[in-house]
Amino acid sequence: MNSFCGSHRDSAREGLRALVRPRDRWIVSRRALERPLELLVALVSYYGVILLHECGHMVAAQRKGCRVNWIRLYPILGLVCFEQPYSQYDRAVIAWAGIVAQSLVAIPIVVWLSIFGYSRFDALNVGLGIWGYMSLGFAMLNVIPVPPLDGALAWKLFPELLRRSGIGSKGERTTKIRTDFEAINGWWRISTTLPSTLRHNVSKSRRGFV
């Protein structure tokens, strides 16, 4: 979304011009090369987060009986190829799995950093920032219900859960109520006829013994 106003618009334009200046790009590259360990940690952490996300999809797909063909990592995203799931419910579960896998790692790191702060090692701080705040930010962005993000399929899980629980359409609710009524009616008939049947059997047994 490109919406700026007042001085923010001018500062944004100056920032964009600074990004395309060759001299500034050289300064950024030189600073990155001056700290090779931090650069290495940043790259490994970034692709580690992507790999963790895709492994979440992979594990969920395997649990749903889908054969996984491959996982590929690209500069800004990752892809996992697996067989088509059997139902909309399975597709939604697989979509949530990557987001959940990221969050299970990112949330504890964010809580730790919020309480205790960063360490005195710059390279470690870079990794913690990427595995924590950046990974959690990517997970929150990924739940937006817009293709090709996972949110386009993930949010369909809740209608499927309602449908499976019988709280879906009016026809399903009517069928469930009718089934419950028939079960209650059947138990009522058994409870009303059982005493008379028992009394009849007892009287017959008494006459037999007398």
Please write the tens of the pLDDT for every residue from 96-140: 999 999 999 999 999 999 999 999 999 999 999 999 999 999 999
At 113, the amino acid letter reads L
Range 37-47 average pLDDT: 94
Of the ranges 31-40, 54-63, 199-208, the best mean pLDDT one: 54-63
Residue 148: cis peptide before it, omega within 30 degrees of 0: yes
78-82 and 68-73 strand pairing: antiparallel
| Between 26 and 55, residue with greater pLDDT | 55
Q: 93: part of which helix (H) or strand (E)?
A: helix 88-116
48/135 Cα distance (integer angstroms): 10
Tracing tokens 């001056």 back to the chain, one arrives at 34
pTM for the predicted model, two decimal places: 0.65
Q: Give the pLDDT score at 148.
A: 87
On whether the CB atoms of residues 154 and 128 are closer than 8 A, the answer is no
Is residue 19 over pLDDT 90? no
21/94 Cα distance (integer angstroms): 43
Q: Look over the chain and give the mean of its residue pLDDT values, rounded to a whole number.
A: 76
